[in-house]
Amino acid sequence: MSGAAILVVDDEPGMRDTLVAILEHHGYRVSSAPDGESAFSAVRETVFDVVVMDVRMPGRDGVSVLEEIGDPPPRVILMTAYTQEDRLRDAVRAHAFAVLHKPFETHRMLSLIADASQAGR
Amino acid sequence: MPGSAAGGQAAGARARRPLRAVSALTFLVVAGVAVAASLITDDAIRNQDRLILRERTGEAAAVLGSAFSGSQASLQLLGTLARSGQSRARLFTAAARSITTSSRQAWMVSAEQGPNARVIAAAGSGLAVGALLSTDHERLADRALSVSGLVTGLVQEGSARWLVLGLGRSAGPGTVVWEMTKVTPKATVRLAASSPFGNLAIAIYASARPSPATLVIATTRHLPLAGVQYPFRVGADTWLLVAQSPHPIVGALAEAMPWILLAVGLLAAALVTAFVETLGRRRDYAAALVKERTASLRSAIADLEEAQAQLIRQERLAAVGQLASTVGHELRNPLGVVMNVLYLMEAGAGDDPDGPVRRHIATAKREISAATLIVSDLLDYSAGRQPILAPVRVSELVTEALSVAPPPKGVQVVQDGEPQASIDADHDQIRQALLNLITNGYDAMPDGGTLTIAAASAPGSVQITVTDTGSGMDEETREAIFTPFYTRKARGIGLGLAVTKRIVEAHHGTITVRSAPAAGSSFTITVPVAASLASVPR
């Protein structure tokens, strides 16, 4: 299962960097983007198996990026620190693979990414 | 509210009760006045009646008196006739016959001859000329000669009783002229109803006292009469007229007047009493109404004050909640980053599971988890979101919860039942609920114990029960534990169970608790297996 291509999108450098480090530690090929616009460009240039993306970001938010790249591939796991119900329902409609509420257990995040990359194969 | 129905309640609250004192007093006073007025009127009318009777009696006596004056004049005239010339007896007789009005009437002249008195002239069915007078009659003749004016008396002659009127010396010295009328006192005389005295019962006595022996005439058998006694002069004698009125002279209306007054008075008393009573009751009713309205107003004011105070509290709470929500959200990212960092540190911490670095990392993770749970509860309470459902296995939730909140020293965790059961639930929310129950269980067993997490499937639902062997709760505590900000712990803000209940109910489930002091506590969450809410595909 290792070797899957993962894109981590978060405007918070601390979160982004630690996620990248954890995923690399588990053998994934990891890229990262600091905002929705860069994420969208990255997805158009490269084929990713899984995108792990924050919902609230400056400029385009995670849900609008999800809506534009369409459903799979890649599988999109959204992360949120906020309870924006409308936005989360939009995410569900746009076929988000899962929604993770921050702060989340690292084990749970890893198990979801494993499931998502398996589903993409 | 009590205000709207106050009238009905006031009316209903007044039980049926006897007259109040003021009403009773009013009745007694007015009725007393009525009785007094009745008695006074009765007395006045009786007096009036007696007075009129007396006047009537006097009138009757006057009429009788004048009749006797007529008799005296007749006797005087007859005496004069009897004295003149040789044919005096014939003249007397002819004159006497001419003034005779009844066969019961007789006239005569007596004269003293020696020790006796003899009849010297007579007319009518009296004594014959030459006859001696009876002893009684003789005595009367003596009196007639010794007094001036008429003498009267009753004389028995054989079976006949005569009322005799004698006028002495009118036919010459030693003579007495007599008018005699046969009387039968036992036979009552009826007066015509139209006569002036027709409505009186009358008895006439030829003496000053009412004696049967001197009774001349009576209109009733019922003697003696109890009415007015009126003595009057007949010549030299005193007669007595006794009159009684069998019916009130003043009339039936006057006689009924005391009773009419009494009836009207009592009626007035009843009316006045009813009026006073009505006024009293109205006043009481109004007073009761005012009291009720005042009470309801007070209560409304108290409610208003309470509502205002609550509003102020809520505003403060809302402001605090807003702040808490903002802070909570902003804390989530750093907490997540720290969690990630701890994960990375743990990954590079070497292989010794009991090494000091790993122990420190475990402590940091536990504290970060506690902080995360507090932030989650706070955010859920201030802005709880609807669950987003997806199929999730109970065992998975329990494992995650125990990894986030591993048991402290001395506490043993036992998993029981059917942990493979699966439900449609919001993974994070149900995990948060479980975490709250588990950490509460730990906190209830500071000296160690056993925490049992049991899952059980029922048709259509799954039960998860978290049981500790800790200090337990009394009833008062049991009822308060789901109240927000209620806590018995030194640490925590008292939102855990309130949020847990909200989460379970948002899943259309229920939460129950069984507990007793020193007997541990047991919380049971029951959630439906498949919910009708939106679910996230996995």
Q: Identify which has the larger pLDDT, B362 or B291.
A: B291
For residue A20, pLDDT over 90 is answered with yes
Neighbours of B110 (CB within 10 A): 30
User: Which has the minimum average pLDDT: A74-88, B141-155, B157-171, B183-197?
Assistant: B183-197
Domain endpoint, select from B229, B244, B259:
B244
Q: What is the pLDDT of residue B85?
A: 60
| Closest chain B residue to A16, measured at CA | B337
Which is nearest to B343 in space by CA: A25, A80, A29? A25
Q: Per the CB < 8 Å rule, is B332 touching A102?
A: yes
Q: Is residue B309 part of a domain?
A: no
Percent of chain B, pLDDT > 90? 15
Q: Per the CB < 8 Å rule, is A14 touching B337?
A: yes
CA distance A92 to A75: 12
Q: Per the CB < 8 Å rule, is B388 touching A99?
A: yes
Residue extents of the structural domains in chain A: 5-120
Contacts of B326 in chain A (CB under 8 A): none
- Tell me the per-residue pLDDT of A70-101, one tens digit each, with 9 for 90 and over: 655 688 898 888 766 677 777 777 778 888 88
CA distance B249 to B242: 16
Identify the CATH number of the domain in which residue B430 sits. 3.30.565.10
Contacts of B329 in chain A (CB under 8 A): 81-82
| Closest chain B residue to A108, measured at CA | B400
- Tell me the per-residue pLDDT of B330-340, one tens digit each, with 9 for 90 and over: 888 889 899 89
Distance of residue A45 Cα from the nearest chain B Cα, in angstroms: 27
Q: What is the pLDDT of residue B533?
A: 42
For residue B354, pLDDT over 50 is answered with yes
Cβ-count burial B33-49 (b if 16+ within 10 Å, e if not): ebbeebeebbeebeeeb
- Read off φ and ψ for residue B468, nearest 5 degrees: -115, 165
A9: three-class secondary structure by DSSP: strand
For residue B277, pLDDT over 60 is answered with yes
Pick from B330, B341, B379: CB nearest A18: B341
Please report which confidence band the pLDDT of residue B257 belongs to, taking 50, 70 and 90 as the band edges: confident
Q: Is residue B462 part of a domain?
A: yes
Q: Is residue B360 part of a domain?
A: no
Percent of chain B, pLDDT > 70? 93
How many interface pairs between A and B have CB atoms less than 8 angstroms apart? 78
Q: Per the CB < 8 Å rule, is A102 touching B536?
A: no
Contacts of A13 in chain B (CB under 8 A): none
CA distance A106 to B335: 12
Identify the CATH number of the domain in which residue B115 sits. 3.30.450.20
Pick from A88, A101, A103: CB nearest B339: A103
- Count up the domains in chain B and report the number: 2
Pick from A18, A81, A89: CB nearest B344: A18
- State whether residue A90 sits within 8 Å of chain B by CB: no
Q: Which residue out of A8, A22, A71, A102 would a mutagenesis test of the B interface target, given it has the greatest number of B Cβ atoms within 10 Å?
A: A102
CA distance B288 to B282: 10
Chain mean pLDDT for chain B: 83
For residue B386, pLDDT over 70 is answered with yes
**Contact yes or no for A16/A31 (Cβ under 8 A):** no
Q: Which residue out of A106, A115, A117 would a mutagenesis test of the B interface target, given it has the greatest number of B Cβ atoms within 10 Å?
A: A106
Fold of A5-120: Rossmann fold (3.40.50)
Cβ-count burial B298-333 (b if 16+ within 10 Å, e if not): eeeeeeeeeeeeeeeeeeeeeeebeebbeebbebbb
- State whether residue A102 sits within 8 Å of chain B by CB: yes
Q: Per the CB < 8 Å rule, is A22 touching B343?
A: yes
| Closest chain B residue to A75, measured at CA | B538
Q: Per the CB < 8 Å rule, is A25 touching B347?
A: yes
Which is nearest to A9 in space by CA: A53, A42, A46? A53
Pick from B372, B400, B537: CB nearest A103: B372
Q: Report how far apart, in Å, the C-alpha atoms of A98 and of each of A42, A80, A95, B323 are.
A: 21, 11, 8, 29
- State whether residue A41 sits within 8 Å of chain B by CB: no
Provide the residue range defining the domain that includes B55. Answer: 44-244
Name the one residue in this structure whose structure tokens are 């369409």: A70
Contacts of B385 in chain A (CB under 8 A): 83, 85, 88
Contacts of A94 in chain B (CB under 8 A): none
Q: What is the pLDDT of residue B6?
A: 44
Q: Per the CB < 8 Å rule, is A98 touching B538?
A: yes
Which is nearest to B427 in space by CA: B455, B400, B407, B458? B400
| Closest chain A residue to B538, measured at CA | A97
Pick from B332, B340, B537: CB nearest A22: B340
Q: B119: which 2 tokens? A: 């009849």
- Name the pTM for this structure: 0.47
